[in-house]
Structure 1
Amino acid sequence: MDRRSFIRKGALGGAAAAATSLAAPAIAQEAPKITWRLTSSFPKSLDTIYGAAETMANYVNGMTDGKFTIQVFAGGEIVPGLQAMDAVSNGTVEACHTASYYYWGKDPTFAFATAVPFGLNMRMQNAWFYYGGGNDLMNEFYATHGITAFPCGNTGAQMGGWFRKEINTVEDMKGVKMRIGGFGGKVAERLGVVPQQIAGGDIYAALEKGTIDATEWVGPYDDEKLGFYKVAPYYYYPGWWEGGACLHAMFNKTAYDGLPEAYKVALQAATQAANSDMMASYDYKNPQALKSLLANGAQLRPFSPEVLQACFNAANEVYAEMNASNEWFKKVYDSQMAFRKDAYGWAQISEFNFDYFMMSQQAQGKL
């Protein structure tokens, strides 16, 4: 072997050896082993809404080859369901899965990330979050509470709830003690309702004991599991305060900012996948659950146009007051409501006309 060949091969061999010795710690730094805890606001019995967090965690685990693990705990196992966000903000856990509007009492701006009265439906929510700047806007706000968050599930338009008595007029709403989450309670209060905020696992007992007269939760699939029809037979629709209720995976901002970039991308992709999965699951399960509820004595009732119009007017009054007193609220309101106007104009041309025709065929027994 000539000297030049020996030197060339030796240099290459040395470089390879050096690269090998450097590559292992570099890779280890890029893909560290990380375990987070996530507390849910929901009980395991509500498999669809609770399950969105597990779906997200499973995707993250798979995309990182098991290097990034998120352990999911049901509401109450670490902290009570309605304290999930607080536990993330103060660093007790790294993550939670919750409804942002549960925390509207801290600041009503929180409500926009879940649903506000007469706001957006599910498809409009996603459009606003992903393409209308909604997610960036909400994360600017969440940062003031030490949080980063992404949509992670949607229930679609919810039902109007279970009542012990019929609600035919606005007068019938006065004095009704109702479990109603988020901003909707503030509006319903204008019409005489006495709003109560109760975690999902505690609602049935309150309704059975008469502590409350009515409750809203999600829709037929979850409502049947919780058994509300046994003690409050009148099932109203629509849930005008939740035209498309979005759930969020929230992360402690310091913990999130410290993640490798690949793990951040995995979280964003996993939450978006879980967001789509949860809606598909509800769309599949709700039709059969509604049929089952009706067979077991639930009495389906629409809110009257009078009641809906009164609620719409009350919502606008509350919006005006909040806009005048809260800069963050107005900033998000202006963004979401500007999109709402155009989105419903388009939906009237496209989705509404197609859906209305197909629903008329269903009503005539042709489907």
Structure 2
Amino acid sequence: MSGKSHTSHLSRRTALGLAVGAAGGALASPALADEGGATIEWKMVTSWPKNLPGPGVTAQRICDRIGLMSGGRMRVRLYAAGELVPALGVFDAVSSATAHMGHTASFFWQGKAPAAVFFTAIPFGLLPQEHITWIEQGGGQALWDELYAPFNIKPVMAGNTGVQMGGWYKREINGLADLKGLKIRMPGLGGEVMRRLGATPVNLAPGELYQALQTGVLDATEFLGPWSDRAMGFQKVTKSYYAPGFHEPNGTGEALFNKTALEGLPEDLRAIVLEACRAENGRALAESEWENAASLQALQENDGVEIKFYPDEVLDALRSTSVEVLEEFAAKDPLSGRIYASFLAAKARLSPWSEVAVRRFLTARDGEA
């Protein structure tokens, strides 16, 4: 894929900003991008149904915050999945400048940049706060930038749906034999782990999942957590909801920026855009935790959903297979290897602290042995 921008889709004013950014004119770009005080208009494309609880809400809130923080100097119009480009077309749209920015999840782009999956979550990986720490303090952001640079895309964290659930299953999982032939939607490396244990991963966009589960295209699907999952209606198809979400212990949403467009903004607007995304990490995570707790209760008490847990035999196999998948993945290319090494270093540094500060506290708080 070429990183070259196609300005035919952009407004004249933004095209001027793109041209200056491409030429490296950092001093001149603010005047051109904000010439005459007119409103700068951007397009955001997303991978989510409009106003989907969780990521859909987050995406709209980022657009709203940019407008408010900029005092109306900049307006971002959100296009939900399918309105301008398909749900899985967000990356290409931003790269080609069909849209200025996108809101999505990095594991969708594993086919374009294999290590992209690390920047959402990997099996048995980091919890949300640990992940944010890796990106902001442990060198993760620089590696993410390097990974997307050939596509003329700047990625940043932009919201978090928290710890994920294991998914909705139309048949019981009592042992490894029950994974054989299971048609499951599980993107990222978790899907590969499932494949090696005999399941058949199916890659579908979020908006297609309910019908696929209902009609038998899928035997099982994971999505996010109780809040978003209940809004999708999966509880109408099956009452078996499995935990833990071994494949995604974190739920980072990503904002993608056409790098030329971003660099063509005045410095203050560029800061506003980036800080609007950063602020959403904390707000979205708090919101997801709050709403997931309420929705989990509603699923059980109002919808008759039964929370089930993967048997130890299955979890043990998932864990050992995940190590194999990750090690093979890291050997694919030098950049994937460096990203994996950085991830492991962050996990090694943070895990002992999480053990002492979090696990031990929860055990003490809940009075467990």
TM over 0.5: yes
Is this contact kept in 2: 1:52–1:275, CA < 8 A? no
Is this contact kept in 1: 2:113–2:147, CA < 8 A? no
Structure 2 CA distance for partners of 1:105 and 1:360, relative to 1, 3 Å: farther
**Is 2:369 the partner of 1:350?**
no
**Per-residue Cα deviation, 1:172-216 (whole angstroms, up to 9, x for no partner):** 111100011222111111111100111111111001101110000
Counting matched residue pairs gives: 337
Amino acid at match of 1:354: F
Tell me what 1:68 maps to.
74
Structure 2 CA distance for partners of 1:33 and 1:190, relative to 1, 3 Å: same
Tell me what 1:265 maps to.
271
Instruction: After TM superposition, list the pairs within 5 Å mapping 1:1-367 onto structure 2.
Output: 29=35, 33-295=39-301, 296-360=303-367
**Per-residue Cα deviation, 1:251-286 (whole angstroms, up to 9, x for no partner):** 011111212211221122100111111111111111
Q: Sequence identity of aligned pairs in percent?
A: 36
2: CA distance, partners of 1:129 / 1:333: 13
Structure 2 CA distance for partners of 1:32 and 1:183, relative to 1, 3 Å: farther
Calculate the TM-score normalised by the size of structure 1. Answer: 0.88
Deviates more, 1:149-158 or 1:32-41: 32-41
1: CA distance, partners of 2:357 / 2:104: 32
Deviates more, 1:91-100 or 1:30-39: 30-39
Unaligned runs of 5+ in 1: 1-24, 362-367
Structure 2 CA distance for partners of 1:120 and 1:27, relative to 1, 3 Å: closer
1: CA distance, partners of 2:234 / 2:200: 19
Structure 2 CA distance for partners of 1:338 and 1:32, relative to 1, 3 Å: farther
Calculate the TM-score normalised by the size of structure 2. Answer: 0.88
**Per-residue Cα deviation, 1:125-173 (whole angstroms, up to 9, x for no partner):** 1101111121121011111111001100111110000101111211211
**Per-residue Cα deviation, 1:327-351 (whole angstroms, up to 9, x for no partner):** 1111111101111122111100001
Structure 2 CA distance for partners of 1:305 and 1:61, relative to 1, 3 Å: same
Structure 2 CA distance for partners of 1:348 and 1:84, relative to 1, 3 Å: same
Amino acid at match of 1:340: K
Q: CA deviation at 1:28?
A: 5.3
2: CA distance, partners of 1:132 / 1:99: 20
Determine helix, strand or coil for the equivalent of 1:144.
Answer: helix
2: CA distance, partners of 1:60 / 1:192: 46
Q: CA deviation at 1:27?
A: 11
**Alignment RMSD:** 1.7
Unaligned runs of 5+ in 2: 1-30
Structure 2 CA distance for partners of 1:217 and 1:331, relative to 1, 3 Å: same
Deviates more, 1:102-111 or 1:43-52: 43-52
Is this contact kept in 2: 1:108–1:183, CA < 8 A? no
